[in-house]
Amino acid sequence: MLTNLTTRVSNRKRVLVTGGAGFLGSHLCARLLKDGCDVLCVDNFYSGTKDNVAHLIQNPRFELMRHDVTFSLYIEIDEIYNLACPASPIHYQWDPVQTTKTSVHGAINMLGLAKRVKAKILQASTSEVYGDPEIHPQREDYWGHVNPIGFRSCYDEGKRCAETLFFDYHRQHKLYIKVARIFNTYGPRMHPNDGRVVSNFIVQALKGEPITIYGDGSQSRSFCYVDELVDGLVRLMATPDDFTGPVNLGNPCEFTMMELADKVIELTGSRSPIVFKPLPSDDPRQRQPDIALAREKLGWNPVLPLETGLVHTIEYFRTLLVA
Ligand code: NAD
Ligand code: UDP
């Protein structure tokens, strides 16, 4: 009997992860493989690396493709996690025009793909859509306080426009969308030189170099461990079709940068001194997610204490720095 070539041989879910060779993306690819999916990781290696997914390459259900999401992509797929976009201020401000293109053109291309193949699509949005927030903690119905013309705007406004596109495709083309607003996340495979605070402090502490606090260190962030965050993304994708978000994903435990520096020094046993540097422009004063919606709709509640997550992350950087 002739096989119908349009009939799928396998019933496994085919999942595309854009930005899959980055920090969050590499953990997400691993989680999806563990869940039994076929995973296609698409990345242009701008801020991610092949090393991040080297441990997955031998898996026959994993495929790695070099591709820039600002260009069209024609594949067959069931679900899309759209993570492609540099996330650290150093990386996204290095080529701000490309950052906006990645967020906006990338979203248009991935939404177009989702429309063609009728795939469910999840956007990795960010707490940056709230800008320097005037309400605290931040709930999803807060519209934000964002500078449209500053150094962070390429990222903040790019991500805001991507959210707009997701909701317009949902209303206009009936796409199944999910929008996650991710708050500061940390863990193994953060880029050692991307300037984000957790990686900076740990690398500085391990090298015995001064710990650089920007401003007076009283600004705050809420840090979520990567495994818990990835679990939130997977749970969001699995919610009923009528739930779109946006939904905050982050750990509500809030720390000042001074408290973070003290913890890193204590956990590494470092003798690094603390030095104060100028605060970058538009640096948000405080950030803490209200995760009531995620708790209700996703049954998601991150519990890992910062100390425990930092110990895992310090271990990773210790190994990386001696390699
Ligand atoms: P990352 O920089 O490690 O990963 C981003 C990945 O996207 C990299 O592998 C990079 O090479 C790839 N990429 C960039 N531009 C691309 C393009 N045009 N085409 C294809 N690939 C491209 O950052 P991350 O921390 O893993 O963040 C992943 C996503 O989550 C981003 O969209 C980011 O905005 C979002 N996010 C992350 C955090 C966080 O704390 N890590 C917080 C909020 C939102
Ligand atoms: N920060 C700092 N020292 C560093 C790097 C960052 O004090 O070496 C501060 C930064 O000014 C910000 C906070 O840490 O107030 C978080 O910075 P990050 O770039 O990690 O994330 P984001 O500002 O995007 O939340």
How many structural domains comprise the chain?
1
Of 7-11, 89-93, 156-160, 222-226, which range is least confident?
7-11
Q: Which residues line ligand 1 (CB under 6 A)?
A: 18-19, 21-25, 43-48, 68-70, 83-87, 91, 102, 106, 124, 126, 182, 184-185
Total Cβ atoms within 10 A of residue 276? 14
Question: Quick check: is 220 in a domain?
Answer: no
Question: Quick check: is 229 in a domain?
Answer: yes
Question: Quick check: is 268 in a domain?
Answer: no
Q: Percent of the chain beyond pLDDT 70?
A: 97
Locate the ligand 2 atom nearest the alpha carbon of residue 196 and give its number: 20
pLDDT of residue 282: 86
Question: Quick check: is 213 in a domain?
Answer: no
* Contact yes or no for 34/56 (Cβ under 8 A): no
What mean pLDDT, rounded, does the chain reach? 95
Total Cβ atoms within 10 A of residue 300? 20
pLDDT of residue 5: 52
When pLDDT is averaged across residues 15-42 and rounded to a whole number, the result is 98
Is 155 considered catalytic here? yes
Q: Which residues are CB-contacts of 179 (< 8 A; sequence separation ≥ 6)?
A: 122, 123, 125, 163, 166, 167, 244, 245, 246, 247
Parent domain of 152: 13-185+225-251+288-303
Give the number of the ligand closest to the Cα of residue 220. Answer: 2
Ligand 1 centre and the CA of 133: distance in Å? 22
Which residue has a Cα nearest atom 2 of ligand 1? 86
Give the number of the ligand closest to the Cα of residue 288. Answer: 2
pLDDT of residue 56: 98
Alpha carbons within 13 angstroms on the beta-carbon side of residue 177 total: 29
Record the pTM. Answer: 0.96
pLDDT of 133 > 80? The answer is yes
Query: Which of the following is catalytic: 46, 130, 155, 186?
Result: 155
pLDDT of residue 6: 54
Question: Quick check: is 297 in a domain?
Answer: yes
Question: Quick check: is 119 in a domain?
Answer: yes
CATH of the domain at 40: 3.40.50.720
Interval 97-127: pLDDT, tens: 999 999 999 999 999 999 999 999 999 999 9
Residue 1: pLDDT band with limits 50, 70, 90: very low
